[in-house]
């Protein structure tokens, strides 16, 4: 006579074996919840690099899709801004440009500032603008703001080409401009602008998941911040009484170094640039930590 207990144990083992993964199963990805502030999963960004590049293409193509001039707006916008500054601040207000051609002075500041400002404003809307995607499928959420920074880098390259066109024109005409060895710092300057824009943007994006009205202050705040940056006037024209206010802006050494690298005029200091790099690193690290913490519950509040 068969033992009922033995039959039950055999049935249990068969049931468990049916649902247990076999030893020859090879898992390529294990999705697990983030349990702490420092559980970042940054390696997922590299594994999803194809998705990041798809987002880059989407951001770049969709920006001026179904427009008459299309990508020409990447050139028209900074050119019109530069001409406006040249007429109002250069010719009417007669602000100093350190002896540089007015168009080159303003275009250099606009080119550098636009990259930082675009990174900040567009990443500050990450959660609200992508809520429908975030709620449907898993992927590292940080891929979206990183793709925005990369797509803006293409725009920056186009506007830098515009600046170089004017630069070589004035250089051929014998203008008092000269390139310096600081040109080798261009990759560092671009990295600082990207880090500062990305870090600040994702901090704002994380906070706006709970406080929606903050998003309406971003555009206004970026415009005000520009006037505390040497975009329309040089740092050398400020007295020591007010210069510290300008230097408290981490974008100030970046723009001054950018001008010094190409034009040979500007305030270049390793100390100021080092402080800017330190602030940018802290802002980026703090932004990533806050973004990582908020993304776990963002779908409940967005």
pLDDT tens by residue, 157-201: 999 999 999 999 999 988 888 889 999 999 999 999 999 999 999
Distance CA 120, CA 118 (A): 5
Name the pTM for this structure.
0.82
Residue-level pLDDT at 159 = 93
Residue 18 — very low, low, confident or very high, per pLDDT cuts 50/70/90?
very low
Residue 66 — very low, low, confident or very high, per pLDDT cuts 50/70/90?
low
159-163, 224-228, 289-293: range with highest mean pLDDT: 159-163
Name which residue leads in pLDDT, 73 or 2: 73
Place of tokens 């051929």: 172
Residue-level pLDDT at 156 = 94
pLDDT at 62 over 90: no
**Two tokens at 124?**
């500050």
**Two tokens at 86?**
């040249």
Q: Name the percent of the chain in helix, strand, coil, to the closest 5.
A: 70, 0, 30
Residue-level pLDDT at 220 = 83
pLDDT at 102 over 80: yes
Task: For the chain, give every domain's residue range.
Answer: 69-301
pLDDT at 256 over 90: yes
Question: What is the average pLDDT score of the chain?
Answer: 81
**Two tokens at 145?**
């703001």
Distance CA 79, CA 89 (A): 15
35-44, 57-66, 168-177: range with highest mean pLDDT: 168-177
Residue-level pLDDT at 25 = 55
Identify whether the C-beta of residue 234 lies closer than 8 Å to the C-beta of residue 95: no
pLDDT at 12 over 90: no
């Amino acid at each position: 006579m068969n033992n009922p207990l033995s039959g039950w144990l055999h049935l249990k083992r068969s049931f468990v074996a049916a649902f247990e993964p076999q030893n020859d199963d090879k898992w390529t990805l294990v999705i697990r919840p983030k349990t702490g502030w420092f559980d970042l999963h940054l390696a997922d960004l590299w594994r999803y690099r194809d998705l990041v590049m798809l987002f880059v293409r989407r951001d770049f193509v969709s920006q001026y899709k179904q427009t008459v001039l299309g990508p020409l707006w990447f050139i028209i916008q900074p050119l019109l801004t530069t001409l406006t500054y040249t007429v109002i601040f250069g010719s009417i207000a007669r602000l100093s440009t350190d002896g540089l051609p007015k168009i080159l002075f303003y275009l250099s500041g606009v080119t550098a500032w636009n990259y930082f400002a675009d990174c900040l404003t567009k990443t500050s809307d990450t959660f609200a603008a992508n809520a429908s995607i975030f709620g449907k499928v898993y992927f590292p959420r940080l891929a979206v703001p990183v793709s925005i920074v990369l797509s803006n880098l293409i725009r920056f390259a186009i506007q830098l080409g515009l600046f170089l066109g004017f630069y070589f024109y004035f250089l051929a005409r014998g203008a008092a401009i000269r390139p310096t060895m600081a040109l080798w710092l261009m990759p560092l300057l671009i990295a600082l602008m990207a880090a500062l824009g990305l870090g600040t943007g994702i901090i704002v994006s994380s906070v706006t998941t709970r406080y929606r009205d903050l998003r309406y202050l971003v555009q206004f705040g970026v415009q005000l911040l520009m006037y505390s940056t040497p975009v329309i006037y040089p740092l050398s024209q400020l007295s020591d009484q007010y210069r510290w206010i300008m230097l408290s802006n981490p974008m100030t050494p970046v723009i001054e170094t950018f001008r010094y690298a190409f034009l040979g005029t500007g305030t270049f200091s390793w100390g100021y640039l080092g402080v800017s790099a330190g602030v940018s690193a802290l802002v980026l690290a703090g932004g990533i930590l806050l973004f990582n913490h908020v993304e776990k519950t963002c779908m409940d509040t967005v």
